[in-house]
Amino acid sequence: MKNKNNYDYLLSDLTKLSGVGKKTMAILKKKKVNNIFDLLWRLPKSYTDRSLTSKINELQVGNIHTIKVIPLKYNFPRIRNLPSRVNCEDETGKIDCIFFNSYEGYIRKILPLNEEVTVSGKISIYKNKYQITNPTYVSKDSAVIEKVHNKYSLTEGISERTYNKIITQILKNLPILNEWHNEKILKLFGNEGWNSSIIKLHDPVNIGNYKSNFYRRLAYDEILSSFLVNSEIRKRIKKIKKVSKNFTKKPYENTISKLNFNLTNDQKNALKYINKDLSSKSKMFRLLQGDVGSGKTIVSLISALNVIESNFQVAFMAPTEILARQHFNLAKQLFPKNIKIKLLSSKSDNLEKKKIVQELKDHKIEIVFGTHAIFQKKIIFSKLGYIIIDEQHKFGVRQRKLLSDKGGKNCDILLMSATPIPRTLTMSIYGDMDVSIIREKPNHRKEIKTYSKLENKINDVINFVKKSIKEGNQIFWVCPLIEESKKLDHQSVIEKYRYLNKLFPNKVGLLHGKIDSKEKEKILNRFLNKEYLVLVSTTIIEVGIDFPNANIIIIENSNKFGLSQLHQLRGRVGRGSKQATCILLFKSNLSNNAKKRINILKNSNDGFKISEEDMKLRGFGDLLGFKQSGIKNFKLADPVHNEDLFLLAEEEIRIIEKENVDIKRYKPLLKLYDQADIINDLI
């Protein structure tokens, strides 16, 4: 069956396997094993050596032994559900083989009386006598018993024997695929081919051999395939020809003159690249990545001006209403009065909504702000030329591809994300886009001071708050819950609000997701106008909101939040020129891991660095919730331990792009590793 280049076998479903029953198949399906390829990645954890036979007087209870015995007598029960028992012996002692749910005929066949047979299984003791319950192997010929037997972390309902039979069968039928790597790369892995690597991966002598050539080669395969898909998507998008936008310096200069600060060099640089893309003849698909507070909004708004000047419409999408409104207000403030700006809010009345829909159709609106509602089916733009999407780091590659198709060929796309990611992951997560990074923070910023405190020291915190208020500062107070919960022992905003409002009457605002948006806006405005000095809030203040005067943030139950989320929350303060403080509150003594996380936060304000540390602590699977976002979940490759392989793949992609290497060479790799529909469009 060793067909050359026959990867179809690997992609075929489990019915292709012989000797696998419906029950086993159903169990595997439930575990998301859909085809034969999926089975290759569950690795043996340890193995049982059944090659050594023992005498009965050498048996150790609880261990697995293989013994040669002579069956002497059957005891078949009269009553159903009782086990059958076969008395056996060798020259050193006696043992019983116990069978639950086995037919009499079957037992007579495998254990014929007075003939030597080999049995293998776990030894137990019952009424002072050794026994083996449901022996794993029974054979007249001891050579039939496999010498070494892999142990996988098994799914309930599948026996070790069945699973080993499946894997052995697959490895026997494993196709030999044409090598996709070039000689130079292959040499780095000791010329280990894919086929032999897989076989070695399942060889129990290699368990835990992560540094070996075969393991690294397989890890590299995964990385390269994910990078390749992204790189192909990017190439496709760049090939799309569009009507370029015209550029004049005027709108840019007008807007800049209204700002009371200068753009940082990184902001200027990002703007330069965005403008270059907008004025080019190919479609832009760019990510603007920058830590919280690095000033991405202003960059995107300035870039939108030229698009409007070129007689195109712009759609600006934010993840929440509050944020959409804030961006909308900023645009109204900055943009020339003649530009028609609207906010599409889910809370505005139907008449107003209808009017906006019509105006978008008639090109009476030039830039619209809103949540994902701006992409509803009923909304038709007259001439959409630019989509800006804020804080959408949770969009996966597939969602982004849909988005890039959405606006039509003349529509440029800019995504913004304040979630810095480790360098090794940039290509796997954002490889389908061009990336601009703003690393520099506006230069008047001071580092945020971060402290951790036990919750029972609340009086110290309150004293600090009192003092800060006297100095004219404002405070965010973040709790994980809205209302008290019987299940979760976490602080709720409502409870905290009551408590703080007694201490600071009429100076405390309360904000959470269940408050309607008009009310929310009132509350936020009161905070902005310093009527409220403390704002008690759930994490809805996490994303993007900008309050330059708030310089203290207190986070309750902070060990419940991830490192990156804490960094995001902390980024709500320290946007003005005053010294900012972040206090992390905890219920009880911290675990070691929590302590490490706090130290990382205390020692750094650099989101990129924090994300690297976060990854080292947690492993990348958990990082930033990317698991849920459709990001590729590697089976063997690990960005921390295989950093060199990620860099190698990045370098190789550069060469492949530069030398225009035909992607067909990688067809088996892509077919096997990225079984998504996208691949069919690409090769």
The beta strands (E) that lie in 202-361 are given as 285-290, 313-317, 341-344
Q: Is 548 in the site for ligand ADP (CB under 6 A)?
A: yes
Short-list 10, 53, 48, CA closest to 161? 48
Helix locations, 337-481, DSSP H: 350-361, 397-406, 426-430, 458-470
- Residue 292 binds which entry of Mg ion, ligand ADP, none, with Cβ cut-offs from 5 to 8 Å by kind? ligand ADP
- Residue 605 binds which entry of ligand ADP, Mg ion, none, with Cβ cut-offs from 5 to 8 Å by kind? none
Q: Is 135 in the site for ligand ADP (CB under 6 A)?
A: no
Q: Is 420 in the site for Mg ion (CB under 5 A)?
A: no
- Residue 582 binds which entry of ligand ADP, Mg ion, none, with Cβ cut-offs from 5 to 8 Å by kind? none
Task: Choose between 179 and 440: whose C-beta lies nearer to ligand ADP.
Answer: 440
- Exactly one of 217, 234, 575, 667 binds ligand ADP (CB under 6 A); that residue is 575
Q: How far is the CB of 296 from ligand ADP (least distance, A)?
A: 4
Task: Measure the CA angle with vertex 464, ends 463 and 467; round to 5°.
Answer: 85
Cβ-proximal residues to 329 (8 Å cutoff; 6+ apart), any chain? none
Q: Is 297 in the site for ligand ADP (CB under 6 A)?
A: yes
- Exactly one of 179, 455, 546, 606 binds ligand ADP (CB under 6 A); that residue is 546
Task: Choose between 213 and 549: whose C-beta lies nearer to ligand ADP.
Answer: 549
Cβ-proximal residues to 501 (8 Å cutoff; 6+ apart), any chain? 508
- Residue 298 binds which entry of Mg ion, ligand ADP, none, with Cβ cut-offs from 5 to 8 Å by kind? ligand ADP
d(CA 530, CA 551) in angstroms, rounded, equals: 13
Task: Choose between 319 and 509: whose C-beta lies nearer to ligand ADP.
Answer: 319
Q: How far is the CB of 295 from Mg ion (least distance, A)?
A: 8
The residue length of the chain stands at 683
DSSP string, 109-145: HHS-TTS-EEEEEEEEEETTEEEEES-SEEESSGGGS
Q: Is 441 in the site for ligand ADP (CB under 6 A)?
A: no
Segment near ligand ADP (CB under 6 A); pick from 180-188, 209-217, 279-287, 543-551? 543-551
- Exactly one of 544, 607, 639, 668 binds ligand ADP (CB under 6 A); that residue is 544
Task: Choose between 327 and 667: whose C-beta lies nearer to ligand ADP.
Answer: 327
- Residue 135 binds which entry of Mg ion, ligand ADP, none, with Cβ cut-offs from 5 to 8 Å by kind? none
Q: How far is the CB of 669 from ligand ADP (least distance, A)?
A: 38
The beta strands (E) that lie in 258-381 are given as 285-290, 313-317, 341-344, 367-370
Residues 507-546 that bind Mg ion (CB under 5 A): 544
Binding mask 257-276 for ligand ADP (x = CB under 6 A): ----xxxx--x---------
Residues 388-427 that bind ligand ADP (CB under 6 A): 418
**Radius of gyration over every alpha carbon of the chain, rounded to an integer in angstroms:** 32
Q: Could you give the 3-state DSSP secondary structure of residue 569?
A: helix
Q: Is 607 in the site for Mg ion (CB under 5 A)?
A: no
Q: Which amino acid is at 81?
A: N
d(CA 177, CA 175) in angstroms, rounded, equals: 6
The residue assigned the tokens 């086990």 is 83
Q: How far is the CB of 272 from ligand ADP (least distance, A)?
A: 15
Q: Is 295 in the site for ligand ADP (CB under 6 A)?
A: yes
409, 242 Cβ separation under 8 angstroms: yes
Q: Is 440 in the site for ligand ADP (CB under 6 A)?
A: no
d(CA 506, CA 526) in angstroms, rounded, equals: 11
| Residue ranges that bind Mg ion, judged by CB under 5 A | 544
